[in-house]
């Protein structure tokens, strides 16, 4: 079976884990944590990094330090992984869903304005499947209405908007290092910010709210959202490979485009987009199936038969039981029903991709 995603480790990963274990620094103190925070923040062009136990608590930590609380509304795209909205709920606030742009599947900035109320405090743009959001348009809207911007960059490490890396826009940006993400630490996450005050507050809240100069004095109810030194060691080694991983994923995208180009020209499928101001990372190379081709689920079934694993797109969050409100967001619903992630691991060969593409091609 060719998997949708698998991690790729080199000997430095193993060496760093061994070093963490041998030195006894296996918990959340140790040298790899600040090293990973500084290196990852530097890579993304942000000043400060705060490593966390996973991406969901990175989002929750970010919303909490920004003062998001009960009664507040936070705008999130409907077409995203559920953690984006769950983090808003964890902060006792209400996620308000906005539809996607049909061309590149991320939050549609033109639909933002209509969602803003007196209670709106923040927008969480999600760089879906490695494609950046239109950050200028989102920033304009946020400035006009005095809203925070918290990037959810969990799927887009190293993606660029107009030449600037994601993770460097907005008040805080959140990343995940889950096993299938661009780079992984097993479980893990990070908040990036250019504000020292926000970074310091996030570090305190991450560590039970303990006052950094007075042991066991707790000014707030904090969390245990710390990353371990073992994980940070993995992260340090993974980060060195990130540019290579991105280039490989972009090559995989070009191979899929070659193999599937004819089907796209015939209007049977839509290829993974990359708009002119974006450099995507193609975290998950994805296509959208049009009418007149086999259905998305039939496509998945037939690929499985020939040993190719796929994943359907996320269900739009506004139809899930915890968030259902009867509203219709037609673009998200359409893309979610027709979208499929194809194998995208950096270990794929050109022959693998050609085989997968030709298996899809024969279904025309
Ligand atoms: C993976 C992911 C998260 C959550 O990250 P975890 O590390 O799994 O908690 C949040 N948002 C998006 C868009 C993701 O893809």
For residue 81, the CA-to-ligand 1 centroid distance in Å is: 7
Mutation pick for ligand 1 pocket among 84, 90, 133, 154 (CB with most ligand atoms within 8 Å): 154
Both tokens assigned to 200? 């310091």
Do the beta carbons of residue 203 and residue 192 sit within 8 Å?
no
Are 285 and 162 part of one and the same domain? no
Do the beta carbons of residue 239 and residue 39 sit within 8 Å?
yes
Question: Tens digits of per-residue pLDDT, 46-91?
Answer: 999 999 999 999 999 999 999 999 999 999 999 999 999 999 999 9
Are 134 and 212 part of one and the same domain? yes
Average pLDDT, the chain: 97
* 6 lies in some domain: no
Give the residue, by CA position, lying nearest to ligand 1 atom 7. 55
Domain of 272, CATH number, reads 3.90.1150.10
* Residue 252 pLDDT level (bands cut at 50, 70, 90): very high
For residue 348, the CA-to-ligand 1 centroid distance in Å is: 23
Question: Tens digits of per-residue pLDDT, 80-120?
Answer: 999 999 999 999 999 999 999 999 999 999 999 999 999 99
For residue 255, the CA-to-ligand 1 centroid distance in Å is: 27
Give the contacts of 11 (CB within 8 A, at least 6 positions apart).
none
Are 115 and 169 part of one and the same domain? yes
> Tell me, what's the pLDDT at 325?
87
Are 159 and 272 part of one and the same domain? no
With a Cβ cut-off of 6 Å, ligand 1 is lined by 54-56, 80-81, 83-84, 126, 152, 154-155, 176, 178, 189
Give the contacts of 355 (CB within 8 A, at least 6 positions apart).
none
Burial (CB count within 10 angstroms: exposed 0-12, middle 13-18, buried 19+), residue 145: middle
For residue 83, the CA-to-ligand 1 centroid distance in Å is: 6
Q: pLDDT above 70 covers what percent of the chain?
A: 100
* Element holding 151 (H helix, E strand): strand 148-152
For residue 291, the CA-to-ligand 1 centroid distance in Å is: 31
Question: Tens digits of per-residue pLDDT, 122-133?
Answer: 999 999 999 999
Q: pLDDT above 90 covers what percent of the chain?
A: 99
* Ligand 1 nearest atom to the CA of residue 80, by list position: 13
Instruction: Give the pairing type, strands 160-161 and 278-279.
Output: antiparallel
Question: Tens digits of per-residue pLDDT, 295-332?
Answer: 999 999 999 999 999 999 999 999 999 999 899 999 99
> Tell me, what's the pLDDT at 96?
98
Give the contacts of 144 (CB within 8 A, at least 6 positions apart).
none
Question: Tens digits of per-residue pLDDT, 262-301?
Answer: 999 999 999 999 999 999 999 999 999 999 999 999 999 9
* Ligand 1 nearest atom to the CA of residue 187, by list position: 7
For residue 84, the CA-to-ligand 1 centroid distance in Å is: 7
Which structural domain, as residue segments, surrounds residue 16? 11-99+108-241
Query: Angle CA(69)–CA(224)–CA(15) in degrees, nearest 5?
Result: 135
Are 36 and 183 part of one and the same domain? yes
For residue 188, the CA-to-ligand 1 centroid distance in Å is: 10
pTM value? Answer: 0.98
**Residue 78 to residues 67, 281, 298, Cα–Cα distance (Å):** 23, 21, 25
Are 194 and 310 part of one and the same domain? no
* 5 lies in some domain: no
Give the residue, by CA position, lying nearest to ligand 1 atom 14. 154
Are 222 and 269 part of one and the same domain? no
364 pLDDT above the threshold of 90:
no
Are 218 and 250 part of one and the same domain? no
Are 54 and 156 part of one and the same domain? yes
């Amino acid at each position: 079976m060719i998997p949708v995603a698998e991690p790729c480790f080199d000997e430095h990963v193993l060496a760093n884990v061994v070093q963490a274990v041998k030195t006894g620094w296996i918990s959340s103190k140790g040298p790899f944590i600040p090293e990973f925070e500084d290196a990852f923040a530097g890579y993304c062009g942000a000043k400060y990094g705060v490593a966390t136990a996973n991406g969901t608590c990175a989002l929750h930590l970010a919303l909490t330090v920004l003062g998001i609380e009960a009664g507040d509304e936070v705008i999130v795209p409907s077409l995203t992984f559920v953690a984006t909205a769950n983090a808003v709920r964890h902060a006792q606030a209400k996620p308000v869903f906005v539809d996607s742009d049909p061309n590149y599947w991320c939050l549609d900035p033109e639909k933002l304005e209509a969602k803003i109320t007196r209670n709106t405090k923040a927008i969480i743009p999600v760089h879906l499947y490695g494609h950046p959001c239109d950050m200028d348009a989102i920033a304009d809207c946020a400035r006009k209405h005095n809203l925070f911007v918290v990037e959810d960059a969990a799927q887009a490490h190293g993606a660029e908007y107009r030449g600037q890396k994601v993770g460097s826009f907005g008040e805080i940006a959140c990343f995940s290092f889950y096993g299938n993400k661009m780079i992984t630490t097993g479980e893990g996450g990070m908040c990036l910010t250019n504000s020292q005050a926000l970074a310091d507050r996030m570090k305190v809240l991450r560590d039970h709210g303990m006052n950094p100069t007075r042991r066991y004095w707790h000014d707030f109810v904090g969390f245990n959202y710390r990353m371990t030194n073992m994980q940070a060691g993995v992260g340090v080694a993974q980060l060195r490979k990130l540019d290579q991983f991105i280039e490989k994923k972009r090559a995989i995208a070009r191979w899929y485009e070659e193999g599937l180009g004819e089907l796209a020209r015939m209007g049977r499928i839509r290829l993974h987009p990359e708009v002119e101001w974006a450099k995507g990372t193609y975290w998950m190379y994805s296509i959208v199936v049009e009418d007149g081709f086999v259905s998305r689920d039939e496509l998945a079934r037939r690929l499985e038969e020939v040993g190719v694993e796929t994943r359907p797109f996320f269900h739009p969050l506004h139809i899930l039981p915890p968030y259902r409100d009867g509203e219709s967001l037609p673009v998200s619903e359409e893309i979610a029903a027709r979208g499929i992630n194809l194998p995208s691991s950096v270990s794929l060969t050109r022959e693998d991709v050609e085989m997968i593409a030709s298996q899809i091609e024969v279904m025309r």
